[in-house]
Structures are given as C-alpha cells and as structure tokens.
C-alpha cells in the first residue's frame, strides 16, 4: 500500500507526465475545453427559454418534464448512439458524441432550476416592480434574474461539476481529456496511471465547484443573511453515472 502511494506520488513528480500532447497539462486543458464548451452551450440553450417561461409563470412544468426525459438516457448510451451518426456525417470520432452527451447532461438541471427560480420569485416583488413602472424586460433583468441568481448559478455549478466528472467518457471514443489516463492505464494495466487519472478528474471537479463558489460570493447579489440559492434549489443531484 505504501509502495502504491509512493508510486502515485512519483508519477505526479515525473515531469514527463506533465508535458507534451499526452501530458497532464494538455489533457487537463482538453478536459476543461470540452466541459466548458458543453456547459456554456447548454446554458445558452436552456437559460433564455427558462427565464422567459419563468417570467410568464406558465408552460414551464410541461417543459421541465420534456427536458428531463434527456436525463433518463445515460451519457454512455448517448455517446454510443451518437458515435455512428457522427462518423457518417464526417464529424469524426470523439468530440461531437461526447459534446452531445455532456450537453444533454447539463441542460435539464439548468433549465429546471432556472425556470423554478424565476417562477418562484415572490409575486409581491414582481407586482411592486410592475406597479412602479418597470417594463416586462426590466422586471426580468432588474428583479427576477438578480433575485433568482443564487438558484441559477447553483444550477450551473451542479451541471458543470457533473459535466467535468462525465467528460472522462470522451476517452472511450478516442478523444482526449483526463479520461485518457484512466482508459490508457487500464489498457496497459498500469494501476498507478489509472489511480492518478481518477485523482485528476476528482481534483478538477472539486476545483470547478470551488471556482463557482468563489464566483457566487463575488458576483451574486447579496441580500444579507438570506441564502435563497440553497432554499430554492430543486433536487437535481443525480448519482454520477460514470467517472
């Protein structure tokens, strides 16, 4: 056991494992890239309609149900389904199938929580805002979004962390990312490399969590003493299917 820990430490200390196209630095960068791209794309697709429906306070329940169908399909299955199509369309092996799986993973919690967060903004605030002469757009941008911001940011954080964990799958379909260490290590029966890969994925997921926490502290409007984000968050935490 001590030997194993020593081997893992040695692996991390070996500069060879850090540099080059297969090194930790470039693999981490690949991992971050596909995770960020998927999360941002899912946010861009999920948030505007969720905010709009939340503002109107209707239609959302049906939309939430539809969106959550996506969650029923495992990420691994999405990759398997998307792979042949991606190849046929000439889009290559790894990136797009993985992107699709991560996009589908990230979208439902962001949509659901954003819709709920906006729709559950105290109706009295909205009435006061409207009664004072805010336009519907101003009500949304100046009242609903800031008040629901903790819930929205929390939803994005939950999605992002899940995406980072699941992006490990990219390695299965010949793309990069930190999953490479796990898959390749498994293939050559290098347990140290598998373990190190696992540590790196876990570390990146935790770093993502911390980065969002810092962002929330810095940018989410304070109301002093209230933690609306924690109160309102609908439970979207599903057990990670992989990684």
Partner 1 sequence: MIELTEVTKRFGGTTAPAVDRLTLTVADGEVVVLVGPSGCGKTTTLKMINRLIEPTSGTISIDGVDVTGLEPHELRRGIGYVIQQIGLFPHRTVRENIATVPRLLGWDRARIERRVRELAETTDLGDDMLDRYPSELSGGQRQRVGVARALAADPPILLMDEPFGAVDPIVRAKLQDELLELQRRLRKTIVLVTHDIDEAIKLGDRVAILSVGGHLEQYAPPEELLRAPANDFVADFLGSDRGIKRLSLIRIADIDLEPGPVVPPGTDVDRARAVMAGYDTDWVAVVDGDRMLGWVTNDGLDGRSTIDGVDLEPFVTRLTPNNTLEEALDAAISSHTAIAAVFDGERFLGMITVERISREIVR
List of residues contacting partner 1 (CB under 8 A): 122, 124-135, 138, 143, 146-147, 149, 221-226
Please, what is the end-to-end C-alpha distance for the chain in angstroms? 23
Q: Whose Cβ is closer to partner 1: residue 89's or residue 124's?
A: 124
Smallest distance from partner 1 to CB 115, Å: 20
**Any idea which residue has 């140290």 for tokens?**
192
Q: Whose Cβ is closer to partner 1: residue 30's or residue 144's?
A: 144
Smallest distance from partner 1 to CB 235, Å: 24
Q: Whose Cβ is closer to partner 1: residue 130's or residue 242's?
A: 130
Q: Whose Cβ is closer to partner 1: residue 72's or residue 124's?
A: 124
Closest CA to 47 of 153, 160, 135, 121: 153
| Torsion 203-102-240-177 (CA) sign | negative
Smallest distance from partner 1 to CB 124, Å: 4
Six-digit token pair at 42?
């899912």
Smallest distance from partner 1 to CB 111, Å: 23
Length of the chain, in residues: 243
**Any idea which residue has 């909205």 for tokens?**
126
Phi, psi (degrees; rounded to nearest 5) at 94: -80, -45
């Amino acid at each position: 056991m001590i030997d194993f820990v020593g081997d893992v430490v040695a692996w991390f200390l070996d500069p060879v494992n850090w540099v080059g196209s297969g090194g930790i630095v470039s693999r981490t960068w690949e991992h971050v890239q596909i995770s960020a791209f998927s999360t941002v794309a899912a946010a861009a697709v999920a948030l505007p309609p969720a905010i709009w429906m939340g503002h109107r306070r209707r239609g959302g329940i049906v939309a939430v149900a539809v969106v959550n169908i996506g969650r029923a399909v495992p990420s691994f299955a999405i990759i398997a389904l998307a792979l042949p199509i991606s190849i046929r369309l000439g889009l290559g092996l790894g990136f797009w199938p993985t992107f699709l799986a991560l996009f589908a993973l990230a979208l439902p919690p962001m949509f659901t929580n954003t819709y709920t967060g906006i729709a559950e903004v105290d109706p009295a605030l909205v009435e006061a805002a409207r009664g004072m002469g805010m336009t519907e757009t101003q009500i949304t941008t100046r009242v609903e979004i800031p008040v629901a911001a903790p819930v929205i940011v929390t939803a994005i954080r939950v999605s992002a962390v899940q995406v980072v964990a699941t992006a490990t799958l990219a390695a299965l379909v010949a793309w990069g990312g930190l999953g490479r260490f796990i898959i390749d290590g498994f293939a050559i029966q290098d347990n140290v490399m598998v373990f190190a890969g696992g540590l790196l994925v876990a570390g990146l997921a935790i770093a993502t969590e911390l980065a969002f926490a810092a962002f929330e502290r810095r940018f989410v409007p304070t109301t002093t003493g209230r933690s609306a984000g924690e109160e309102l968050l609908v439970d979207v935490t599903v057990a990670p299917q992989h990684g």
